[in-house]
Structure 1
Amino acid sequence: MSFRLGLTGSIGMGKSTTAQLFAEAGCDVWDADVAVHRIYGKGGSAVEPMRALEPRAVIDGMVSRPSLRALIAEDPTLLARIEKIVHPLVAQDRKEFVDAARSDILVFDIPLLFETGGNKAMDAVVCVSVPAEIQQKRVLDRGTMTLEQFEQIKAKQMPNDDKVAQSDYVVITDTMDHARAQVQAIVNTIKAGLSDA
């Protein structure tokens, strides 16, 4: 029986990097965003159901995220219908990952873990964190969004302090070496617990 470790954190906190560190430490990692890209991509399981729901959402045989955003802005009720299609397909993708996984620690990289109640399915949760000013600088340095867009995304996410308070472990991603040491310590702690079980 594998240990299920949820990995979460707000935008710009260093979650993708931390997921990579868990993979380097020998854990199998499932990424919710990558799963969505997979089911939205050419031949993905969401393409035909989405085409049936809203033909304008599918461009070049793939579900287009920019088109979806525009369509949801046009008709906010569309989001719930999209989620009815996407959530079961993502759950199926996650099940296939679990069935194929070989590691004793499975890491589930899910940005909205607490917001969606996904933490209840985990044995423990890790939250990645940095001070707010570092978070903002990282996001804006990417050059992909404005301060206003960043604030809108942050407003939709549970406050970082609440995520940290509800998590079993916290990884501070101020430097790569510090983050790596914390990840290794978490893996060691979990493995020690598994060997005692």
Structure 2
Amino acid sequence: MKVVALTGNIGSGKTTVARELERLGAEVIYADELARQARAALAPEICRAFPDACVGGRPDDRRLARRVFADPEARRRLEGMIHPWVRRAVLERLERLAQSANPPELVVLELPLLFETGWNPARDGVLVVAAPEALRARRVAERSGLSLDEFRARDAAQLPQEEKVRRADWVIVNDGDLDALRARVQRWYAEVVREASA
């Protein structure tokens, strides 16, 4: 069972790449989905720390994001709650997959903050998805309705894309249409699965 981390900056197309890898047969663990579960599980703790970002005793994602991306100390405080929960969940899932009767050939950990947190449980390498900044900003505006300032605040909270590319074992550039991206992902998948079974 080969375990690879997938990361990239906001709007790069990580999730699109992850979904295509899933379609091709990889097992994908989505840290953002686990983080949503963590926010629900830790709602009382988060609302005690950030009462202005909660509605009806539950964290409001948009308010919480505005609060923590405007204040690095608040972001560190929130991450101190969420990250340990997500890490435990990732490790438990990896253990279950490794112990299963038919482990997948490839497990992909979609970890948007892989380099920022300094935690990488993927022993077999890092795949970075990269895209031009203007294209990433446009995608985020279309997908989430974030303004350019909101995009820039979130992007600034991440390691610069160039540094992620430098640290990567593999890079997929997402600067074209969906068909071009899928073709690049399929080539990468074929190469990595071939290496895993060699």
Matched, 1:85 2:81: yes
CA contact (8 A) 2:130 2:171 kept: yes
Using structure 1 for the length normalisation, give the TM-score.
0.81
Q: Using the alignment, how far apart are the partners of 2:154 and 2:190 within structure 1?
A: 34
Map of 1:92-107 to 2, 5 A cutoff? 92-101=88-97, 102-107=103-108
Task: Give aligned pairs, total.
Answer: 192
Identity of aligned residues (%): 30
Q: Using the alignment, how far apart are the partners of 1:124 and 1:145 within structure 2?
A: 31
Corresponding residue of 1:63: 59
Q: What code does the residue aligned with 1:65 have?
A: D
SS in structure 2 at match of 1:13? coil
Is the deviation greater in 60-69 or in 165-174?
Answer: 60-69
Corresponding residue of 2:164: 163
Structure 1 unaligned regions, length at least 5: none
Q: Judging changes above 3 Å, is the alpha-carbon distance between structure 1 residues 85 and 156 closer, same or farther for their aligned structure 2 residues?
A: closer
Q: What code does the residue aligned with 1:192 have?
A: R
Map of 1:25-174 to 2, 5 A cutoff? 25-41=24-40, 44=41, 46-50=42-46, 59-60=55-56, 62-69=58-65, 72=68, 77-101=73-97, 102-119=103-120, 121-142=122-143, 144-173=145-174, 174=176
Q: Using the alignment, how far apart are the partners of 1:187 and 1:93 within structure 2?
A: 25
SS in structure 1 at match of 2:115? coil
Q: What code does the residue aligned with 1:158 have?
A: L
Structure 2 unaligned regions, length at least 5: 98-102
Q: After superposition, what is the alpha-carbon deviation per residue over 1:149-187, rounded to whole angstroms, capped at 9, x for unaligned? A: 222222222222221121111112222222222222222
Matched, 1:195 2:194: no
Q: After superposition, what is the alpha-carbon deviation per residue over 1:52-80, rounded to whole angstroms, capped at 9, x for unaligned? A: 65666654453333454566589864444
Corresponding residue of 1:177: 179
